[in-house]
Amino acid sequence: MERYTKGIVLGVGTFGKVLMATDKETGQVVAIKKIQVGEKGEGVNVTALREVKLLRELRSPYLVRLLEVLPQKRGINLVMEYCESDLEHVIRDRSRLLSAGDIKAYMQMILRALEFCHSRWVVHRDIKPNNFLVTASGELKLADFGLARTFGSPDRRYTNQVFARWYRPPELFYGSTCYGPGVDIWAAGCIFAELLRRNPWFSGESDLEVLGKIYNALGTPQDEGWAGLRAMPGFVEFQATPAPGLRKLFPASMIGASDDALDLLSRMMAFDASRRISAADALQHRYFRSDPPPSSVEQLPKPQQRQAPAAGAAAGATTDDGGAATGGAAAESDGQQGAAAAAQGQQQQEEQPAAGGQQGSDASPSAASGAADPQQAAQQQGAAASGGTPLFGGLPLSAVPESMLGRVERPKLDSSDIQFFKKRKFNLDDAEGA
Protein backbone atom coordinates (compact mmCIF):
# COMPACT_ATOMS: atom_id res chain seq x y z
CA MET A 1 0.00 0.00 0.00
CA GLU A 2 3.04 2.27 0.19
CA ARG A 3 2.73 2.76 -3.56
CA TYR A 4 -0.59 4.60 -3.22
CA THR A 5 -1.52 7.91 -1.66
CA LYS A 6 -4.86 7.46 0.05
CA GLY A 7 -7.66 9.93 -0.60
CA ILE A 8 -11.18 10.38 0.64
CA VAL A 9 -13.56 7.58 1.58
CA LEU A 10 -15.94 6.94 -1.31
CA GLY A 11 -18.26 4.51 0.44
CA VAL A 12 -18.68 2.07 3.29
CA GLY A 13 -20.18 -1.42 3.04
CA THR A 14 -20.77 -4.52 5.12
CA PHE A 15 -17.28 -5.96 4.69
CA GLY A 16 -15.16 -2.84 4.35
CA LYS A 17 -14.85 0.52 2.67
CA VAL A 18 -13.81 2.04 -0.65
CA LEU A 19 -11.11 4.70 -0.85
CA MET A 20 -9.97 6.98 -3.62
CA ALA A 21 -6.18 6.79 -4.08
CA THR A 22 -3.41 7.91 -6.42
CA ASP A 23 -0.56 5.79 -7.72
CA LYS A 24 2.65 7.60 -6.71
CA GLU A 25 4.56 6.19 -9.68
CA THR A 26 2.12 6.86 -12.52
CA GLY A 27 -0.29 9.42 -11.06
CA GLN A 28 -3.23 7.18 -11.98
CA VAL A 29 -6.37 7.65 -9.89
CA VAL A 30 -7.68 4.32 -8.59
CA ALA A 31 -10.28 3.00 -6.18
CA ILE A 32 -9.14 0.72 -3.37
CA LYS A 33 -11.71 -1.63 -1.88
CA LYS A 34 -10.55 -2.60 1.60
CA ILE A 35 -12.09 -5.88 2.75
CA GLN A 36 -11.64 -6.72 6.42
CA VAL A 37 -11.66 -10.13 8.08
CA GLY A 38 -14.55 -11.04 10.38
CA GLU A 39 -14.65 -9.86 13.96
CA LYS A 40 -14.12 -13.38 15.33
CA GLY A 41 -11.18 -14.15 13.06
CA GLU A 42 -13.14 -16.36 10.66
CA GLY A 43 -11.26 -14.94 7.68
CA VAL A 44 -12.24 -12.98 4.61
CA ASN A 45 -15.86 -13.40 3.56
CA VAL A 46 -16.26 -15.95 0.76
CA THR A 47 -18.16 -13.47 -1.44
CA ALA A 48 -15.11 -11.20 -1.45
CA LEU A 49 -12.85 -14.07 -2.50
CA ARG A 50 -15.28 -15.01 -5.26
CA GLU A 51 -15.12 -11.44 -6.54
CA VAL A 52 -11.32 -11.59 -6.62
CA LYS A 53 -11.36 -14.91 -8.43
CA LEU A 54 -13.81 -13.82 -11.13
CA LEU A 55 -12.33 -10.38 -11.73
CA ARG A 56 -8.90 -11.93 -12.24
CA GLU A 57 -10.32 -14.30 -14.86
CA LEU A 58 -12.85 -12.09 -16.67
CA ARG A 59 -11.20 -9.38 -18.76
CA SER A 60 -13.39 -7.20 -20.94
CA PRO A 61 -13.82 -3.50 -21.81
CA TYR A 62 -17.33 -3.82 -20.35
CA LEU A 63 -16.21 -5.06 -16.92
CA VAL A 64 -14.48 -3.03 -14.23
CA ARG A 65 -10.76 -3.79 -14.22
CA LEU A 66 -8.99 -5.28 -11.21
CA LEU A 67 -5.47 -3.84 -11.21
CA GLU A 68 -3.91 -5.44 -8.17
CA VAL A 69 -4.63 -7.53 -5.07
CA LEU A 70 -2.75 -6.48 -1.94
CA PRO A 71 -3.00 -8.81 1.08
CA GLN A 72 -2.75 -7.34 4.56
CA LYS A 73 -2.94 -8.71 8.09
CA ARG A 74 -6.55 -7.78 8.60
CA GLY A 75 -7.90 -8.56 5.13
CA ILE A 76 -7.19 -7.74 1.48
CA ASN A 77 -7.16 -4.61 -0.67
CA LEU A 78 -8.55 -4.67 -4.20
CA VAL A 79 -7.05 -1.96 -6.39
CA MET A 80 -9.52 -1.24 -9.19
CA GLU A 81 -9.91 1.31 -11.94
CA TYR A 82 -11.64 4.48 -10.83
CA CYS A 83 -14.94 5.47 -12.43
CA GLU A 84 -16.51 8.88 -12.19
CA SER A 85 -20.16 7.95 -11.67
CA ASP A 86 -22.68 5.17 -12.16
CA LEU A 87 -25.80 4.54 -14.19
CA GLU A 88 -28.13 5.15 -11.25
CA HIS A 89 -26.78 8.68 -10.88
CA VAL A 90 -27.19 9.24 -14.63
CA ILE A 91 -30.81 8.10 -14.51
CA ARG A 92 -31.69 10.14 -11.41
CA ASP A 93 -30.07 13.35 -12.68
CA ARG A 94 -33.05 15.08 -14.27
CA SER A 95 -30.83 17.93 -15.48
CA ARG A 96 -29.29 15.47 -17.94
CA LEU A 97 -31.34 14.74 -21.06
CA LEU A 98 -31.18 11.13 -22.22
CA SER A 99 -31.87 10.87 -25.93
CA ALA A 100 -33.08 7.73 -27.70
CA GLY A 101 -29.50 7.25 -28.90
CA ASP A 102 -28.16 7.47 -25.35
CA ILE A 103 -30.58 4.82 -24.11
CA LYS A 104 -29.71 2.54 -27.01
CA ALA A 105 -25.97 2.98 -26.36
CA TYR A 106 -26.30 2.24 -22.65
CA MET A 107 -28.41 -0.85 -23.29
CA GLN A 108 -25.94 -2.13 -25.86
CA MET A 109 -23.08 -1.85 -23.35
CA ILE A 110 -25.16 -3.52 -20.63
CA LEU A 111 -25.97 -6.44 -22.90
CA ARG A 112 -22.37 -6.73 -24.10
CA ALA A 113 -21.23 -7.03 -20.48
CA LEU A 114 -23.82 -9.75 -19.83
CA GLU A 115 -23.06 -11.55 -23.09
CA PHE A 116 -19.36 -11.67 -22.14
CA CYS A 117 -20.13 -13.11 -18.69
CA HIS A 118 -22.75 -15.59 -19.87
CA SER A 119 -20.57 -16.87 -22.71
CA ARG A 120 -18.01 -17.75 -20.02
CA TRP A 121 -20.63 -19.50 -17.85
CA VAL A 122 -20.87 -16.78 -15.21
CA VAL A 123 -24.17 -15.35 -13.95
CA HIS A 124 -23.84 -12.02 -12.10
CA ARG A 125 -26.98 -12.16 -9.87
CA ASP A 126 -26.79 -8.51 -8.79
CA ILE A 127 -27.65 -6.52 -11.91
CA LYS A 128 -28.87 -3.01 -11.02
CA PRO A 129 -28.05 0.54 -12.18
CA ASN A 130 -25.50 1.37 -9.51
CA ASN A 131 -23.45 -1.71 -10.39
CA PHE A 132 -22.83 -0.26 -13.85
CA LEU A 133 -20.10 2.31 -13.40
CA VAL A 134 -19.57 5.19 -15.83
CA THR A 135 -16.06 6.24 -16.85
CA ALA A 136 -14.96 9.74 -17.78
CA SER A 137 -15.31 8.85 -21.47
CA GLY A 138 -18.90 7.61 -21.07
CA GLU A 139 -18.25 3.86 -21.06
CA LEU A 140 -20.31 1.53 -18.86
CA LYS A 141 -18.50 -1.12 -16.84
CA LEU A 142 -20.14 -3.89 -14.81
CA ALA A 143 -18.84 -4.14 -11.24
CA ASP A 144 -19.46 -5.94 -7.93
CA PHE A 145 -19.10 -9.67 -8.61
CA GLY A 146 -19.57 -10.71 -4.99
CA LEU A 147 -22.78 -12.60 -5.79
CA ALA A 148 -21.64 -13.95 -9.17
CA ARG A 149 -21.43 -17.71 -9.68
CA THR A 150 -20.58 -20.14 -12.44
CA PHE A 151 -23.56 -22.03 -13.87
CA GLY A 152 -24.20 -24.94 -16.21
CA SER A 153 -24.34 -27.99 -13.94
CA PRO A 154 -27.84 -29.50 -14.30
CA ASP A 155 -28.03 -30.58 -10.65
CA ARG A 156 -26.56 -27.46 -9.05
CA ARG A 157 -28.86 -25.54 -6.73
CA TYR A 158 -28.39 -21.87 -5.85
CA THR A 159 -29.88 -19.52 -3.31
CA ASN A 160 -32.82 -17.40 -4.40
CA GLN A 161 -31.82 -14.58 -2.04
CA VAL A 162 -29.93 -12.61 -4.67
CA PHE A 163 -30.55 -9.36 -6.59
CA ALA A 164 -31.95 -6.18 -5.12
CA ARG A 165 -35.69 -6.64 -4.66
CA TRP A 166 -36.71 -4.20 -7.42
CA TYR A 167 -34.65 -6.11 -10.01
CA ARG A 168 -35.32 -9.66 -8.82
CA PRO A 169 -37.04 -11.94 -11.38
CA PRO A 170 -40.39 -13.48 -10.35
CA GLU A 171 -39.11 -17.08 -10.24
CA LEU A 172 -36.77 -16.14 -7.38
CA PHE A 173 -39.67 -14.65 -5.43
CA TYR A 174 -41.30 -18.07 -5.74
CA GLY A 175 -38.26 -19.84 -4.33
CA SER A 176 -36.61 -21.21 -7.48
CA THR A 177 -33.11 -22.57 -6.81
CA CYS A 178 -32.35 -23.87 -10.30
CA TYR A 179 -31.74 -21.03 -12.73
CA GLY A 180 -29.30 -19.65 -15.26
CA PRO A 181 -28.47 -16.42 -17.14
CA GLY A 182 -32.16 -15.58 -17.64
CA VAL A 183 -32.21 -13.99 -14.18
CA ASP A 184 -29.68 -11.37 -15.33
CA ILE A 185 -31.74 -10.66 -18.45
CA TRP A 186 -34.85 -9.87 -16.37
CA ALA A 187 -32.87 -7.39 -14.26
CA ALA A 188 -31.40 -5.81 -17.40
CA GLY A 189 -34.96 -5.41 -18.71
CA CYS A 190 -35.86 -3.56 -15.51
CA ILE A 191 -32.93 -1.21 -16.16
CA PHE A 192 -34.12 -0.73 -19.76
CA ALA A 193 -37.53 0.36 -18.50
CA GLU A 194 -35.86 2.61 -15.91
CA LEU A 195 -33.84 4.36 -18.61
CA LEU A 196 -37.08 5.08 -20.46
CA ARG A 197 -39.10 6.10 -17.39
CA ARG A 198 -36.26 7.79 -15.45
CA ASN A 199 -37.44 6.03 -12.29
CA PRO A 200 -37.58 2.38 -11.09
CA TRP A 201 -40.31 0.26 -12.67
CA PHE A 202 -41.06 -2.25 -9.88
CA SER A 203 -40.25 -0.43 -6.65
CA GLY A 204 -41.78 -1.87 -3.49
CA GLU A 205 -41.15 -2.42 0.20
CA SER A 206 -41.95 -6.14 0.20
CA ASP A 207 -41.80 -9.15 -2.11
CA LEU A 208 -45.58 -9.24 -2.48
CA GLU A 209 -45.73 -5.54 -3.33
CA VAL A 210 -43.10 -5.95 -6.05
CA LEU A 211 -44.85 -9.02 -7.48
CA GLY A 212 -48.13 -7.11 -7.49
CA LYS A 213 -46.55 -4.28 -9.50
CA ILE A 214 -45.02 -6.79 -11.93
CA TYR A 215 -48.42 -8.40 -12.56
CA ASN A 216 -50.19 -5.05 -12.88
CA ALA A 217 -47.72 -4.10 -15.61
CA LEU A 218 -47.32 -7.43 -17.40
CA GLY A 219 -50.48 -9.30 -16.47
CA THR A 220 -50.88 -12.34 -14.24
CA PRO A 221 -48.93 -15.33 -15.61
CA GLN A 222 -50.87 -18.30 -16.92
CA ASP A 223 -49.93 -21.96 -16.58
CA GLU A 224 -49.53 -22.39 -20.33
CA GLY A 225 -47.12 -19.45 -20.50
CA TRP A 226 -44.97 -20.46 -17.54
CA ALA A 227 -44.24 -24.16 -17.23
CA GLY A 228 -44.08 -25.40 -13.64
CA LEU A 229 -45.42 -22.19 -12.13
CA ARG A 230 -47.69 -23.82 -9.54
CA ALA A 231 -45.04 -26.37 -8.58
CA MET A 232 -42.66 -23.72 -7.26
CA PRO A 233 -42.07 -23.95 -3.50
CA GLY A 234 -43.14 -20.37 -2.77
CA PHE A 235 -46.00 -20.06 -5.24
CA VAL A 236 -48.71 -17.58 -4.23
CA GLU A 237 -51.79 -17.11 -6.38
CA PHE A 238 -52.68 -13.54 -7.33
CA GLN A 239 -55.99 -12.24 -8.59
CA ALA A 240 -56.08 -12.54 -12.38
CA THR A 241 -55.07 -9.27 -14.02
CA PRO A 242 -54.91 -8.72 -17.80
CA ALA A 243 -51.80 -7.12 -19.27
CA PRO A 244 -52.49 -3.48 -20.21
CA GLY A 245 -49.86 -3.60 -22.98
CA LEU A 246 -46.43 -1.99 -22.98
CA ARG A 247 -47.51 0.76 -25.35
CA LYS A 248 -49.97 2.01 -22.76
CA LEU A 249 -47.23 2.06 -20.10
CA PHE A 250 -44.64 3.53 -22.46
CA PRO A 251 -46.47 5.96 -24.77
CA ALA A 252 -45.00 6.99 -28.10
CA SER A 253 -44.29 10.44 -26.66
CA MET A 254 -41.78 8.90 -24.23
CA ILE A 255 -38.20 9.38 -25.44
CA GLY A 256 -36.74 6.15 -26.77
CA ALA A 257 -39.98 4.13 -26.51
CA SER A 258 -40.06 2.98 -30.13
CA ASP A 259 -41.87 -0.13 -31.28
CA ASP A 260 -38.54 -1.94 -31.62
CA ALA A 261 -37.54 -0.92 -28.10
CA LEU A 262 -40.78 -2.24 -26.60
CA ASP A 263 -40.50 -5.47 -28.57
CA LEU A 264 -37.04 -6.09 -27.13
CA LEU A 265 -38.26 -5.16 -23.65
CA SER A 266 -41.13 -7.64 -23.89
CA ARG A 267 -38.71 -10.42 -24.85
CA MET A 268 -36.46 -9.62 -21.90
CA MET A 269 -39.40 -9.61 -19.47
CA ALA A 270 -40.89 -13.03 -20.30
CA PHE A 271 -42.17 -14.76 -17.14
CA ASP A 272 -40.78 -18.14 -18.17
CA ALA A 273 -36.99 -17.80 -17.93
CA SER A 274 -36.51 -20.37 -20.69
CA ARG A 275 -38.36 -18.05 -23.09
CA ARG A 276 -36.38 -14.90 -22.28
CA ILE A 277 -34.12 -13.65 -25.00
CA SER A 278 -30.43 -14.24 -24.42
CA ALA A 279 -27.92 -11.39 -24.28
CA ALA A 280 -26.32 -12.53 -27.53
CA ASP A 281 -29.68 -12.66 -29.34
CA ALA A 282 -30.73 -9.33 -27.84
CA LEU A 283 -27.65 -7.69 -29.39
CA GLN A 284 -28.87 -8.96 -32.78
CA HIS A 285 -32.38 -7.56 -32.26
CA ARG A 286 -33.63 -5.06 -34.83
CA TYR A 287 -33.68 -2.38 -32.11
CA PHE A 288 -29.89 -2.17 -32.38
CA ARG A 289 -29.81 -2.58 -36.15
CA SER A 290 -31.86 0.54 -36.77
CA ASP A 291 -30.01 3.84 -36.94
CA PRO A 292 -30.41 5.72 -33.63
CA PRO A 293 -30.93 9.47 -33.39
CA PRO A 294 -27.75 11.44 -32.64
CA SER A 295 -26.58 10.60 -29.14
CA SER A 296 -25.93 13.28 -26.55
CA VAL A 297 -24.10 11.11 -24.01
CA GLU A 298 -21.82 13.50 -22.18
CA GLN A 299 -18.25 12.90 -21.23
CA LEU A 300 -17.48 13.23 -17.57
CA PRO A 301 -14.48 15.35 -16.55
CA LYS A 302 -11.20 13.50 -16.30
CA PRO A 303 -10.09 12.68 -12.74
CA GLN A 304 -7.09 15.01 -12.80
CA GLN A 305 -9.27 17.92 -14.00
CA ARG A 306 -12.00 17.68 -11.40
CA GLN A 307 -12.26 18.59 -7.77
CA ALA A 308 -12.05 15.84 -5.17
CA PRO A 309 -15.49 14.18 -5.02
CA ALA A 310 -17.56 14.37 -1.90
CA ALA A 311 -18.11 11.28 0.22
CA GLY A 312 -20.29 8.86 -1.68
CA ALA A 313 -18.84 9.61 -5.15
CA ALA A 314 -18.63 6.74 -7.60
CA ALA A 315 -15.60 4.49 -7.65
CA GLY A 316 -14.42 1.50 -9.62
CA ALA A 317 -15.53 -0.83 -6.81
CA THR A 318 -18.80 -1.19 -4.96
CA THR A 319 -19.72 -1.91 -1.38
CA ASP A 320 -20.90 -5.39 -0.36
CA ASP A 321 -24.22 -4.55 1.26
CA GLY A 322 -26.02 -4.10 -2.05
CA GLY A 323 -25.23 -0.38 -2.33
CA ALA A 324 -22.53 0.89 -4.65
CA ALA A 325 -20.12 3.66 -3.76
CA THR A 326 -21.78 6.00 -6.20
CA GLY A 327 -23.22 9.40 -6.92
CA GLY A 328 -21.58 12.77 -6.65
CA ALA A 329 -19.99 13.27 -10.07
CA ALA A 330 -21.93 15.79 -12.13
CA ALA A 331 -21.78 15.53 -15.90
CA GLU A 332 -20.13 18.26 -17.97
CA SER A 333 -20.54 18.40 -21.73
CA ASP A 334 -17.07 17.69 -23.09
CA GLY A 335 -17.52 15.89 -26.40
CA GLN A 336 -19.26 12.82 -27.68
CA GLN A 337 -17.53 9.44 -27.55
CA GLY A 338 -17.68 6.29 -25.41
CA ALA A 339 -21.33 5.32 -25.26
CA ALA A 340 -22.16 7.18 -28.48
CA ALA A 341 -19.47 5.25 -30.31
CA ALA A 342 -20.88 1.99 -28.96
CA ALA A 343 -24.31 2.83 -30.36
CA GLN A 344 -22.85 3.36 -33.84
CA GLY A 345 -21.63 -0.22 -34.12
CA GLN A 346 -18.06 -0.40 -32.92
CA GLN A 347 -16.17 -3.68 -32.83
CA GLN A 348 -14.65 -4.51 -29.49
CA GLN A 349 -11.77 -6.79 -28.65
CA GLU A 350 -12.56 -8.94 -25.65
CA GLU A 351 -9.88 -10.81 -23.81
CA GLN A 352 -10.62 -14.43 -22.94
CA PRO A 353 -8.82 -15.81 -19.88
CA ALA A 354 -6.37 -18.62 -20.54
CA ALA A 355 -3.43 -20.20 -18.73
CA GLY A 356 -0.33 -18.08 -19.14
CA GLY A 357 -1.99 -14.87 -20.31
CA GLN A 358 -4.60 -13.48 -22.66
CA GLN A 359 -5.90 -15.01 -25.86
CA GLY A 360 -8.65 -14.61 -28.37
CA SER A 361 -10.61 -11.58 -29.44
CA ASP A 362 -14.13 -10.75 -30.47
CA ALA A 363 -13.65 -9.50 -33.98
CA SER A 364 -17.21 -10.03 -35.15
CA PRO A 365 -19.18 -6.97 -36.28
CA SER A 366 -21.26 -5.23 -33.64
CA ALA A 367 -24.93 -6.11 -33.55
CA ALA A 368 -25.77 -2.43 -33.78
CA SER A 369 -24.06 -2.05 -37.13
CA GLY A 370 -26.71 -4.07 -38.98
CA ALA A 371 -26.46 -4.72 -42.71
CA ALA A 372 -23.64 -3.28 -44.78
CA ASP A 373 -24.22 0.38 -45.63
CA PRO A 374 -22.24 1.84 -48.58
CA GLN A 375 -22.49 5.34 -47.13
CA GLN A 376 -21.21 4.14 -43.76
CA ALA A 377 -18.36 2.26 -45.49
CA ALA A 378 -17.37 5.43 -47.30
CA GLN A 379 -17.35 7.36 -44.03
CA GLN A 380 -15.16 4.71 -42.46
CA GLN A 381 -12.72 4.88 -45.39
CA GLY A 382 -12.57 8.64 -45.00
CA ALA A 383 -11.85 8.29 -41.29
CA ALA A 384 -9.05 5.85 -42.00
CA ALA A 385 -7.56 8.20 -44.58
CA SER A 386 -7.53 11.02 -42.03
CA GLY A 387 -5.63 8.97 -39.47
CA GLY A 388 -8.65 7.71 -37.54
CA THR A 389 -9.96 4.19 -37.02
CA PRO A 390 -13.47 3.11 -38.14
CA LEU A 391 -13.69 0.71 -35.18
CA PHE A 392 -14.00 3.63 -32.77
CA GLY A 393 -16.13 6.12 -34.65
CA GLY A 394 -13.23 7.68 -36.56
CA LEU A 395 -11.20 8.53 -33.46
CA PRO A 396 -7.41 8.31 -33.75
CA LEU A 397 -5.93 5.47 -31.71
CA SER A 398 -4.25 7.98 -29.39
CA ALA A 399 -7.70 9.24 -28.33
CA VAL A 400 -9.23 5.79 -27.76
CA PRO A 401 -9.35 4.74 -24.07
CA GLU A 402 -6.84 2.05 -23.21
CA SER A 403 -9.57 -0.25 -21.94
CA MET A 404 -11.26 -0.20 -25.36
CA LEU A 405 -8.07 -1.42 -27.02
CA GLY A 406 -7.58 -4.26 -24.58
CA ARG A 407 -4.03 -3.17 -23.74
CA VAL A 408 -4.11 -4.36 -20.18
CA GLU A 409 -2.04 -6.88 -18.34
CA ARG A 410 -3.56 -9.56 -16.18
CA PRO A 411 -2.72 -9.10 -12.47
CA LYS A 412 -0.03 -11.46 -11.28
CA LEU A 413 0.04 -13.39 -8.00
CA ASP A 414 3.28 -12.95 -6.09
CA SER A 415 4.51 -15.26 -3.31
CA SER A 416 2.75 -13.33 -0.56
CA ASP A 417 -0.57 -13.59 -2.45
CA ILE A 418 -0.20 -17.34 -2.84
CA GLN A 419 0.62 -17.85 0.84
CA PHE A 420 -2.32 -15.63 1.80
CA PHE A 421 -4.89 -17.64 -0.16
CA LYS A 422 -3.44 -21.01 0.84
CA LYS A 423 -4.00 -20.16 4.50
CA ARG A 424 -7.70 -19.59 3.82
CA LYS A 425 -9.00 -22.84 2.39
CA PHE A 426 -12.20 -21.75 0.67
CA ASN A 427 -13.79 -23.73 -2.13
CA LEU A 428 -15.15 -20.84 -4.12
CA ASP A 429 -17.32 -22.92 -6.45
CA ASP A 430 -18.97 -25.47 -4.17
CA ALA A 431 -20.27 -23.48 -1.19
CA GLU A 432 -23.59 -25.13 -0.35
CA GLY A 433 -26.73 -23.23 -1.28
CA ALA A 434 -24.94 -20.18 -2.61
- Give backbone dihedrals phi and psi of 36, rounded to 5 degrees, phi first: -95, 155
Q: In what order do the strands lie in the sheet with 132-134?
A: 85-86, 132-134, 140-142
Q: Is 14 known to sit in a ligand binding site?
A: yes
Contacts of 360 (CB under 8 A, 6+ apart): 350, 351, 352, 354
Please check if 406 is assigned to a binding site. Answer: no
To the query of whether residue 417 is one of the catalytic residues in this protein, the response is: no
Name residues whose C-beta falls within 8 Å of residue 30's C-beta, 6 or more positions apart in sequence: 4, 20, 21, 22, 23, 67, 79, 80, 81, 82, 316
Bridge partners of residue 18, in order along the sequence: 11, 33
11 labeled binding residue: yes
248 among annotated binding-site residues: no
Three-state secondary structure of 241-253: CCCCCHHHHCCCC
| Residues constituting the chain | 434
Confirm whether residue 33 is marked as ligand binding.
yes
Does the annotation place 425 within a ligand binding site? no
229 is an annotated ligand-binding site residue: no
Q: Is 24 annotated as a binding residue?
A: no
Q: Binding residue per annotation — 13?
A: yes
> Which residue among 23, 86, 102, 126 is the active-site one?
126
Determine the Cα angle at 344 with ends 340 and 345, to 5°: 125
- Beta bridge pairs of residue 22: 5, 29
Which residues are catalytically annotated? 126
Binding-site residues for ATP sit at 10-18, 33-34
| Residues making up the binding site | 10-18, 33-34
